[in-house]
Amino acid sequence: MAKRTRHSASGKFPLAETRLSKSDSFRRLYRTGHRRVVPGLCFLWMPSPDGKTRFATLVRKKVAKLAVTRNRLRRMVRETVRPEIAGLPRPCWMLFDVKEVPEEGIAPLREEAFRAVRSIREEVPAEEGK
């Protein structure tokens, strides 16, 4: 029997294959990853040690009390980042840590997440031999 892959509601985003979920992965990112702090968002990234692009979004209860709001922020970041991942020069691990939701709404946060992923293109050299 063929292995089934899970996809998001849009049907285009494989979840399990791109999720950064182990606690030592988070620790490694916080200790050795590159950090970019912008208003409302802390973005961490590092070249992937396992050869796959993975990412996670952290929205703490302190930032958004309601689970509905936290999940909406996670989905917003995921859908903002999804098209940009394909254009990365090499696999990376990324973590989006949402620190606060701006009073203007989530549009500025979406723009910052988009800029954060785009910044990797300038900072990460392409893999040799490709």
| pTM confidence score | 0.75
Lowest mean pLDDT among 3-12, 45-54, 91-100, 103-112: 3-12
pLDDT at residue 7 greater than cutoff 60: no
Determine the Cα–Cα distance for residues 21 and 83; give it in Å rounded to an integer.
Answer: 21
The span from the CA of 39 to the CA of 64, in Å, is 16
Q: What pLDDT score does 129 carry? A: 44
pLDDT, tens digit (0-9, with 9 covering 90-100), for 71-123 = 988 888 888 888 887 778 888 898 989 888 877 777 777 788 778 887 777 76
Q: CB of 20 within 8 A of CB of 53? A: no
Give 87-107 as a DSSP string.
T-SS-EEEEEEE----TT-SH
Neighbours of 86 (CB within 10 A): 7
pLDDT of residue 130: 45
Within 8 A by CB and 6+ apart from 28, the residues are: 46, 49, 93
Between 10 and 69, the higher pLDDT residue: 69
62 pLDDT tier (thresholds 50, 70, 90): very high
From CA 51, how far away is CA 90, in angstroms rounded? 8
Q: Is the pLDDT confidence value at 41 over 80?
A: yes
For helices 107-123 and 67-85, what crossing angle results, to 10°? 30
Q: What domains, with CATH codes, occur in the chain?
A: 16-123 (3.30.230.10)
More confident residue, 119 or 69: 69
Place of tokens 């979920």: 21
